[in-house]
Amino acid sequence: MDNVEEKVLQFFKKHVYKNIDINTVINYVFPTEDDIYNELVLFFEEYNIDPKDFNILKYFHPDPESMPLLKYYYGLIKGRFKAKNLPPLTIRHMIEVAKRKEWFDPE
């Protein structure tokens, strides 16, 4: 594991979730923008990446405040949010973003 890979993995273990590896799909663990927004801001700052090309709603569902809470959780349990076909966003991809020092969409 190279230095950037280890640093990014440790960043996400510290700020997001301890039990992850480079194959963890971030938006499956934290499906809404509200769950992950602050951590992504910290990530972009930490690695000096301009987030102008990053569209959080492409990878995370909108903040559920506008939805009744029960309907929101029912949707999660039934997998309805995943049915929207959001592209997976992995730790491995975030490592590549840190290496390139710029945001790019996963292939």
- Would you state the pLDDT for residue 82? 53
Query: How many domains would you assign to the chain?
Result: 1
Q: What is the pTM of this model?
A: 0.80
- Would you state the pLDDT for residue 50? 95
The encoded tokens of residue 107 equal 């292939």
Note whether residue 105 is domain-resident.
no
Note whether residue 48 is domain-resident.
yes
Residues 17-49 as b/e (b if ≥16 CB within 10 A, e otherwise) read eeebebebbbbeebbbbebbeebbeebbeebeb
- Would you state the pLDDT for residue 101? 95
Note whether residue 67 is domain-resident.
yes
What tens digit of pLDDT does each residue of 38-74 get?
Answer: 999 999 999 999 999 999 989 988 876 655 555 555 5
**Are residues 26 and 36 in contact, defined by beta-carbon separation less than 8 angstroms?**
yes
| Full residue range of the structural domain in which residue 65 is found | 3-100
| Residue range 74-90: mean pLDDT, rounded | 65
Residue 85's pLDDT band, with cuts at 50, 70 and 90, is low
Note whether residue 74 is domain-resident.
yes
Note whether residue 65 is domain-resident.
yes
Note whether residue 93 is domain-resident.
yes
Quote the distance between the C-alpha of residue 40 and its chain's center. Answer: 7
